[in-house]
Chain A
Amino acid sequence: MTFSRFLLRRLLMAIPLLVGVVFITFMLIRVGGLDPVGRLAGPTATAEEFEMIREELGLDQPLWRQFVIYAGNVVRGDLGESWLSNRPVLTDLKERAFISLELLFWGIGIGTLIGVPIGLRAAFRPNGRFDQVSRILSLLGFSIPTYWLGLVMLFVFFYLLRWAPPGIGRISLMVSPPDFVTGSYLIDGLLAADWKAAKSAVAHLVLPVACLAIVSAAPIIKQTRAIALEVLSSDAVRYAHASGLPPRTVRQLVLKNSATPVVTFVGTEITGLVGTMSLIEYVFAWGGLGQYGLNAIVRGDFTAVQGYVLALALFSVVVFLVVDIIVNLIEPRSELT
């Protein structure tokens, strides 16, 4: 199967998921108690004004028609307008996507770089001192509320030590942000050779990234350990041992054979970590997609919620696609289907 056919097939397979997601969120919001009209109209509005707004938003139509209209708009790329920002939802999403991706990339990247070696080392000596300690730390990582960790970090590194900038935004208020290219101040700053902006951007990234890395490392440690233990007890590794391959070679064999399940696991974790990331964005006033989504949900901005949910679904479709491609590169057994 050629690569383009594979891509096409996967995108077609994603359609039912996306339609289902749009449908369920639409129904949930409409059937649920969120009536935006009252909020929009204000306390002094008359009954006629209420009706006018309902008509304007198409809320007077039957539910199924509302859905058909909405779905039609979505297909044309029109996600509606956010009441909070008074701008097209699609524009909001596009602007914020990269801001969140940057945080997610560094956080999970560093979390993986910490978690995988620890998990592997623990597996090579199960129930040794290192394994016990890492197991406790990983369980602790599962238990720490992300937002609380962010707050404690702000207290220690901003309030007490004055090492970190305040937890507001992605760049110092004293520094003018670089021209918009990707949306990441770090990359844009580097592209524009604006070192001051890039430096400030890095300083703002440190705490939220550390938070996300700590929280994402916990499950990665646990799962990597389990995967490596499984591989260690596989026939292949036992046979390698029985045929006297040097310990270094056996270790490489274990690493290689753990790669596929670890990559797959990290992939499935990424979509889950979007929730964690949203909370971190909320605490650090990051202004990315996560914070946008949380705000939209909490404040009942339902066109924005729908757009956000659709973006999440699309994101996980892409992540799983990338995981499959990576696995295919590692595994001689797998075929892209």
Chain B
Amino acid sequence: MSLLEVKNLRTHFMSRDIDNQIRVAEALNGVSFDLEAGKVLGFVGETGAGKSLTAQSICGLLRPPARVVEGRVLFDGQDLTAMPSEELNELRGAQIAMVVQNPRTSLDPLTRIGDQLVRIHQAHTGGPLTASRERALEMMTAVGIPDPKNRASAWPHELSGGMAQRVLIAMSLMNRPKLLIADEPTTGLDVTVQAQILDLLKNLTQRFDMAMIIITHDLGIVAHYSDEVAVMFAGTIVESGPVAKIFEAPSHPYTRSLIAATPERLQMGSGAKLGGQPPDLYNLPTGCHLRTRCVFAQNICTDTPPNREVGTDHFAMCHFAGRLPESGA
């Protein structure tokens, strides 16, 4: 059984506009995927594709007007969408931990970092304070914070961005999670620090036997650090599969254009770039959401595309998956 099974997850934003009309933004339109224990899954896609929203929907972190309207999230056999919010709160930060993109502002500015580590351990695991303190020092060492005893008494504003991210990672590890969700963990960091943090995350998943979801818009990160890839577009996973296969044989036009848009490929003068704006979530095109921007679009694309299996564990949601011309990518 998979550690995490997400089935047909739909999340919508519902609001009323100034003309008293109900408006629905279809932000997630049937997201389904599995994640095995110990594996790393990379989510890629443009801003607004629903990567972060998927993570938030899984953890029950949506705020109104966003809400899950359909679908199930099975974590370790428990249905998170049906779970009372207190139980879900106990699960968050314990079995499912998050690392976010603004580490410096995400730490509590008025609490020393050691106390924050202890606090999260006390909140979920409990036990004697001395044990929590020991665990905190252990985790700070594990994430490569030099001189943890002294650093424990530092204030968040005294840390660099990279150091703050290490603290955040240490916090996420405090309660031995089974799943780590890293939502753009390196977005605001220096390039040199980015690689260190990602290497660290990858090593930690192996060392502590965790599964990890990395959310990013950087294909390079996905290629390097994940076992499996899910490409998101307009609230749908348009292509998913093992990382090698996705990069060897991208089978969805959107994936192809993403790969073609990496700096190396652009230098090689590849074609098949994608024009146009991201789709209006209030008014999505029928059928395939990409069809208005897709160079391969035909009449059939007004029908909802099937999720075709184009290889072992490799799926693409396109009428022409597996039959696209080889040129382009």
Contact = CB atoms under 8 A, between A and B. Distances in A.
A and B: bona fide binding partners: yes
Interface in B140-160: 155, 157
A256 B98 contact: no
Contacts of A256: 110
B106 interface: yes
A249 interface: yes
Interface size class of A (residues with CB under 8 A): 20 to 34
Given A330-B110, A332-B110, A242 B100 contact: yes
B311 interface: no
A47 B119 CA distance: 83
A239 interface: yes
A235 B99 CA distance: 12
B214 to A, nearest CB: 16
A33 interface: no
A242 B119 contact: no
B155 A332 contact: yes
Contact of A244 (B90, B108, B155): B90
A56 B119 CA distance: 73
Interface in B89-104: 89-94, 97-98, 100, 102
Nearest to A126: B64
Nearest to B155: A332
A129 to B, nearest CB: 16
A331 B110 CA distance: 7
A190 interface: no
A238 interface: yes
Given A243-B120, A244-B93, A333-B157, A238 B109 contact: no
A140 B61 CA distance: 36
B211 interface: no
A228 to B, nearest CB: 15
Interface in B167-190: 168, 171-172
Given A236-B107, A242-B61, A245-B120, A333 B93 contact: no
A245 B106 contact: no
B285 to A, nearest CB: 33
Contact of B157 (A239, A243, A330, A332): A332
Given A242-B98, A330-B110, A332-B155, A234 B171 contact: no
Contacts of B124: 244
B286 interface: no
B229 to A, nearest CB: 24
B102 A242 contact: no
Contact of B123 (A246, A332, A333): A246
Nearest to B123: A245
A253 interface: yes
B59 interface: yes
Contacts, number: 67
Interface of B: 59, 61, 89-94, 97-98, 100, 102, 105-111, 119-120, 123-124, 155, 157, 168, 171-172
A239 B109 CA distance: 12
A234 B102 CA distance: 11
A243 B97 contact: yes
Contact of A242 (B93, B107, B109, B155): B93
Nearest to A250: B89
Nearest to B56: A242
Contact of B92 (A236, A244, A247, A332): A244
A249 B123 contact: yes
A257 interface: yes
Interface string A215-243: 00000000000000000001110111111
Which 8 pairs of residues, A with B, have the shortest CB-CB distance? A244-B93, A243-B93, A244-B92, A239-B106, A235-B105, A235-B106, A332-B155, A242-B98
A256 B171 CA distance: 21
17 contacts: A236-B107, A236-B109, A239-B107, A241-B61, A242-B93, A242-B98, A243-B172, A244-B89, A244-B92, A244-B93, A244-B124, A245-B123, A253-B108, A330-B110, A331-B110, A332-B109, A332-B155
A246 B110 contact: no
Contacts of A242: 59, 61, 92-93, 98, 100
Given A236-B107, A333-B157, 16 more contacts: A235-B105, A236-B108, A239-B107, A239-B168, A242-B59, A242-B98, A242-B100, A243-B93, A243-B98, A243-B120, A243-B171, A244-B92, A245-B123, A332-B109, A332-B155, A333-B155
Contacts of A245: 93, 119-120, 123
A249 B89 CA distance: 12
Nearest to A240: B108
Contacts of A257: 108-110
B291 to A, nearest CB: 36
